[in-house]
Each structure stands twice: as structure tokens, then as C-alpha cells.
Amino acid sequence: MTRRAVKWIAIAVLAFVLASLAALWSYGRFAERVRGPASQALAADTLATPVDRAVAPLSAAHDGQTGMVLLADNVDAFAARALLARGAGRSLDLQYYMWHPDFTGNLLYHEVLRAADRGVRVRLLLDDLNVRGSRDVLAALDSHPLIEVRLFNPTRSREGSFMRGVEMLLRWLSVNRRMHNKAWIADGRVAIVGGRNVGDEYFDAARDTNFMDTDVAVIGTAVGEGERQFDAYWNSPNAVPLAALVKHPDATLAAVRQTLGSGLGSAAAKPYLQHLARAPGVRSLVAGERTIHWSRAAHIVSDPPEKAAGAPPAADWMTPVLVHDMAAARTQLLLISPYFVPGDAGVHWLGELRRRGVEVGVLTNSLAANDVVAVHGGYAGYRPALLHEGVALFELKAQGKPDGSLFGSSGASLHTKAFVVDGRTGFIGSFNLDPRSMNLNTEMGLLFEQPDLAHELQQLYARKTAPAISYRLALVGGDLRWHDDAAQPPRTWTREPDASVWRRGAARVIGWLPVESQL
């Protein structure tokens, strides 16, 4: 390379760095200038709402404890959110990484709008990365006097892919950090946290592939922790009011109201409405046939919003807290992580647990089931080392849900993020065991010590690692094998099962690239 070429490359790099610094400075000034007024969770100190009347007596009978109900069924998870929106009379605090404006997403927007019409204050905080298709509905909802929408870490450029792309490139160091949290909090009494975003694939309504996911409904002491964490994000500099970004909504609230309610009369809505009819009130969510697991050692935990601004890690962030609890395992550690990239340090750490005699099992997606090929590319190379360490490794089949969805989909993809330690301690949340969750994204979830709920998670793990659902991986002469013990006769694969040549090739190439820190 000539000296002249080196000179021009250096000039280009310097110009890009200066432009990036200018973009970061300009965005910081903008975000501070348009920052919305601070607000706090409304006190849950009355019995004025259906949610209050259903939950307060239970919480009072278990003072200082947290009650937990596992939501492993996708339609149940939809119904729980809709029931809480219908029963709320004071507030809905909603925080999501992704909320699709599709069939089920619009049904839940409709329930939220109806709640606001009744006088419920709604605070809706969404990560900006996935909201482009929702601009009209969000702007219309934001025009309601009792609904405020804020976007976390948004781009200022809202029109056109080119300018948005330029801004994302210049602000890469900040835009690369996303809010991955998921919370649905009603009247400060009930919180739903876990792995589910809002959209058809999370509620069994997608026609191609649906996620196998898990949430937990929480009442009692830990709900206050969830509200305080929501307030911290809502009032953070990175939460920008939508009104500062979208000046002139293209759709009126009246028009959007009609659109959101139009799906209620469709055949597709029938199973969801029937499910709600069979569970007509909030009490059905926390009573009836459901088992409430009570514990004094249960907490909604979260990264602080400062993590998304690049603050240095602290001991109370998610990664050290969760690693501490997992490292305490004496007999068994079961991990469920759809995006699993352990790194050399993670493989060594799990190996140390095995050398202490701890049984370690991991369930993740197969290549055919993984919706993010890049993540599989980052994970694939660690499989031989994990198996050599004695880790039991299972991968979900792409056709891993025999009963399919409500609309005929037979495809499945794992989206649950959970672990169980020694049959007593567990976690259900948004946290994947990968570098992105550990270092870049903000995460949250429920961390608990409660043997009965831990047993439910163990059973969930056992069902999802059963031969009908997952492949069992093994090493034969140093080579990977995928055992399908449910096939008749049993079948052993010597390459990624059910994956196309393109997917196998893409995953392999990505595995060669130095991108693991971004996965």
C-alpha cells in the first residue's frame, strides 16, 4: 500500500471518528433538551380497582412475601396481559424490547386503549430498534391524554432508511446498546416478567414459526421492585418522549381506534376471546386452578438504565448477580437459553462445576430452529468443548412443537431464558447466556428461591429436552452427533439436522469472524 493511500485512509478514519463524536454530542444535547417530565409509579394503597380487590387480600395474607405463577403456555400469557389491562383501574406500566403491530399486538394495544379510556394512566416504554412499523399506532396512542409513549435510545432520524442508517453508523457505540427488558405492571399490584415480547410469534398466532417462551406473573413484595426499576428507565436520559420525535401523526386516534378493534370480530380472534371468557377476571390469573408459589426470597432484578449509556459494570448488575447464584450450585444446574454463546471462559466455568460433581444441562436452539443464524455461528464452535467437559447438551428441533399453533404452524423456536439451581433457586427473565446480554443490552427478570416453582421449571426443562422436542448431542470419536431418539428407528445425524446448506454455510462463516462480542 502506497504512502498516499495510507494517508487518505487515515484521513477517512479521522473524519469518521470526528463525525461520530459530533453525532454523539449532538444527540446528547437533543435528548437532554426534549427530556420528558419525571413521573413515578402510582401508589397501590387503596382497594379501588378490580386488580386491587383480587390481589390485595392475597398479599396481605402473605405479608413480606412474593407470590409467583408460571406462565408457560403462550395463549395463557396473552390472556394474562389482556386480563390485567381489563382489570386495571389506576395504572399500566409497560416496558418492552419489541411490540409488533400485528394481530395479537393490536389486540393488546386495543385493551390498553380501552383501559386509558376508563381513566387508567398508561406509560409505554419501548426500545426504538423495532418500532418503525408501529409509528402511526404509537403516535395516535400518544395523543390520548392518559397515554404517554417514550422510546429508549432512539434515532433522531425517523424518515427514510438512508438517514436513519447514517445516524446508526455514526452513533454505533451507543445505538448498539439496547433495552431488552420486558414487563407488564398493572395498578402496582401485578407484574408479568419473563422472555416474551408482544407479537404473534409469542402468543401462538404466527403461521410459520412460534416461540416456546416462559413468563411469570408476580404479586406481593417484588412488584414494588419492578415499579422502581420501571421508574428508573422511564425517567432516564435515554427515554425520549415520542412527541419529540414524531411531530405530526399520520393517523388520528379515532382512525387507529377503529383499526385496533377491527380484529375482534375475526375468526382468528375467536380462540383468544374464548380463553378470556373462560377466565373472566383478574382473580383467575392468581387463583382458581393455578398454584401460587410464595417466597420471601424472590426479587425482580434488572440492569440499571446506565448500562445502556456505557457505564462501568457494578456488582449489582445482572451478570454478576446471576453468575453468583449459578456458581452456588452443589448438585445440579439446568440452563435454558435460546441464544447461547458461552465463550472460552464460560466453557471453563461450566467445566469447573462439572469437576465439582455438579450435573450441568443446557437447552438451546438447533440451527434449524434458531431465528438468528449469527448467534448459532458464535455458539457452534463451543459444542465439542462443552461435551468434553461433561455438559449435557440439547438442541430444540425446528419442528419441536407437535401440536403446532392455533393457526396450523408446526415450526418452533426456543425463546425461554431461565435456569434452575439445585431444585431450589431459579430465574425467569430476558437474560440470554451470551455476550450481548452480559455486556451490551439491559436485561431483567425474576430471581427466586422457592422449591415448588423451581420444580415446575425442572419439569419444563424435562419436557423441552424430551426426545420428541429436542436432539441430544454427543461426541463420537471427537465428532459431533445429534441423536433423535424419538425417530422410529432412532436416527443419528452427522451434520446440523434439518438445516439448509445456506444456513449451515452462513453459520460456519460467521463462526470464523471476530464478531462474538456482538452476539
Give the catalytic positions in this structure.
Answer: 180, 182, 187, 415, 417, 422
- Residue 253 CA, chain-centre distance (Å), reads 29
For residue 227, what is its C-alpha cell? 415499579
Pull the grid cell for residue 282.
Answer: 383478574
Please give, one letter per residue, the 3-state secondary structure of 464-477: HCCCCCEEEEEEEC
Count CB-CB contacts under 10 A for residue 26.
14
Distances (CA, A) of 134 to 31, 129, 398: 21, 11, 29
Give the span between the Cα atoms of 226 and 191, in whole angstroms: 7
In angstroms, the CA 27 to CA 316 distance is 29
Residue 193 near residue 300, CB atoms below 8 Å: yes
Q: Which helix (H) or strand (E) holds 324?
A: helix 318-327
How would DSSP label each residue in 112-179?
HHHHHHTT-EEEEEEEGGG-GGGHHHHHHHHTSTTEEEEEES--S--S-HHHHHHHHHHTHHHHT--B
- Phi and psi angles of residue 197, each rounded to the nearest 5 degrees, phi first: -85, -165
Residue of 446, 391, 449 whose CA lies nearest to 423: 449
Question: What is the strand order of the sheet 239-241 is part of?
Answer: 239-241, 147-152, 121-127, 91-96, 183-186, 190-194, 215-220, 66-71, 293-295
Grid-cell match 436520559, residue found: 237
Which residues lie below 8 Å from residue 60, measured CB to CB, with a gap of 6+?
none
* Contact between residue 188 and residue 224 where contact means Cβ atoms under 8 Å apart: yes
> How many CA atoms within 13 Å lie on the side-chain side of 210?
25
| CA–CA distance, 145 with 157 (Å, rounded to integer) | 26
Residue 148, beta-bridge partner list = 123
Using DSSP, state whether 393 is helix, strand or coil: strand
d(CA 84, CA 99): 17
b/e sequence 454-477, b meaning 16+ C-beta within 10 Å? bebbbebbeebbeeebbbbbeeee
